[in-house]
Amino acid sequence: MSAFLRRTNRTSPIGVDLGSGNIKMAQFKQTPKGLALVNFGILPTPEDAIREGKVVNSKRIVEALKELLKFHSFVGQRIVVSVPGQLVIVKEILIEELPEDELREAIKWEMEKFFPFPIEKTTFDYKILNRVIPEDESPDKLNVMVVAAPLDVVQSIVDVMKEASLDPIAIEVEPFSKLRLLQFIPDFDFKSEILFVMLNIGHTYTSVSMIDKGMVNFFRTLPIGGKKFTDAIAQSLGKNFKVAQEIKETKLDLNKRKDPVTKAVLPLLDNLLLEVKRSINYYFKKFNDGKSIDTVILVEGGSANLKGINEYIEESTSFPASTDRLLADIAEVSPELFTKEYLLEMAPFFSVATGLALREHRAKPAIKAKKVREAQKQQKKPVFKYKKG
């Protein structure tokens, strides 16, 4: 959301992911040896302070933000913050090719046909996906991805951050923070011919971001998240939410299909993964003439730590799945701050916050695309040096 971007040369920004279940922060710094983790922290979002992605109790959010900042000793007040995914609308539109100074205005008017809120109350950005050449003699068209959010929602996020004495230098949407995160995978060309499906199973919803050849080409949200898994366990076993949450985190094993806890969540998980597979198949049809592409699913969010979830996703979708623990891999981490085990356990929560925090950092040069293609040809499978788990 470029309208809120302001460039300065101060401390590295803190990435802030304002979720309905948890508030997450991460910060990095540049050292002579490369990128280093300053700190990261997580705190439960105050109950009923955020509803359907909207801040409804700014006072409690401000208190939580200040507590996180103080406890984890983040440096400075500059932040990059995300707009909750369920409030973001992503739409592909086909529009006549125009000079850049005219294109934004033309997109704005085209949006009125598709978007559910008035354009004057919207902040939006766009990315050109490709040029379409018509079979007849009509002018060339552009296939454009438009990302929009209600202006009042974006402004409310800015206001609550400023109230917490923070300096929001940019507002971003989730899929573009994921794109940045992939650029920091060690020794990997993120523009290679692999489709990354970033599956973020959050508290109240799941987001699906698809990144192919270094571009975000698809984003959608699904109304199933970890909270619904907990609700299902609570209802099935006759427990309250707090007890059911503990059962989910400690006893749920998706490899044990006949276990009562597993049986409680499987209908929801099956529905979720059915939509994920449909989304991937739609992507193949839309962007690759129906042909499959080497695909890797990266599982993120709190539910990424559920036992057996990667194996279940692979079985349900027929695509390899790995837990996104990139927070632990992209930067040097002082053992005095965190143990490796704790970092690996917490990393899936921080995919968005990490991508946001990397906004002003530069990734190391990736391995050459030619090298990737040669390795793919030899191995006949995706070259993705990222550990399973």
For residue range 222-244, list pLDDT tens digits in order.
Answer: 999 999 999 999 999 999 999 99
Q: Give domain status of residue 269, yes or no.
A: yes
- Give residue 53's pLDDT: 79
pLDDT at 121 over 90: no
Residue 269 burial by CB count (10 A; 0-12/13-18/19+): exposed, middle or buried?
A: buried
CA distances from 309 to 3, 244, 273, 279, 345 (A): 39, 18, 11, 19, 14
> How do residues 53-98 score in pLDDT, each as one tens digit?
789 999 999 999 999 999 998 999 999 999 988 888 888 888 888 8
Q: Give domain status of residue 114, yes or no.
A: no
Q: Give domain status of residue 305, yes or no.
A: yes
CA distances from 268 to 223, 306, 321 (A): 10, 14, 19
Least confident of 3-12, 78-87, 312-321: 3-12
Q: Using 50, 70 and 90 to split pLDDT, how confident is the model at 37? A: very high
pTM of the model as a whole = 0.86
Question: Tokens 């391995």 map to which residue?
Answer: 367
Q: Give domain status of residue 272, yes or no.
A: yes
CB 387 within 8 A of CB 187: no
Domain count, the chain: 1
pLDDT at 378 over 60: no
Percent of the chain scoring above 70 in pLDDT: 89
CB 184 within 8 A of CB 330: yes
Q: Which domain holds residue 297?
A: 201-323+368-379
CB 21 within 8 A of CB 204: yes
Of 222, 157, 168, give the one whose Cα is nearest residue 19.
157
Q: Using 50, 70 and 90 to split pLDDT, how confident is the model at 137? A: low
pLDDT at 175 over 80: yes
C-alpha–C-alpha distance, residues 159 and 18, integer Å: 13
Q: Give domain status of residue 96, yes or no.
A: no
C-alpha–C-alpha distance, residues 209 and 198, integer Å: 5
Q: Using 50, 70 and 90 to split pLDDT, how confident is the model at 376? A: very low
Q: How many CB atoms lie within 10 A of CB 49?
A: 20
- Give residue 318's pLDDT: 96
- Give residue 114's pLDDT: 77
Of 299, 361, 388, 365, give the one whose Cα is nearest residue 26.
361
Q: Give domain status of residue 261, yes or no.
A: yes
- Give residue 303's pLDDT: 96
129 vs 235: which has the higher pLDDT: 235
Of 231, 163, 206, give the one whose Cα is nearest residue 297.
206
Q: Give domain status of residue 267, yes or no.
A: yes
Q: Give domain status of residue 231, yes or no.
A: yes
CATH number at residue 277: 3.30.420.40
* 77 φ, ψ (degrees, to nearest 5): -120, 0
C-alpha–C-alpha distance, residues 196 and 207, integer Å: 13
- Give residue 132's pLDDT: 76
Of 178, 149, 171, give the one whose Cα is nearest residue 18.
171
pLDDT at 345 over 90: yes
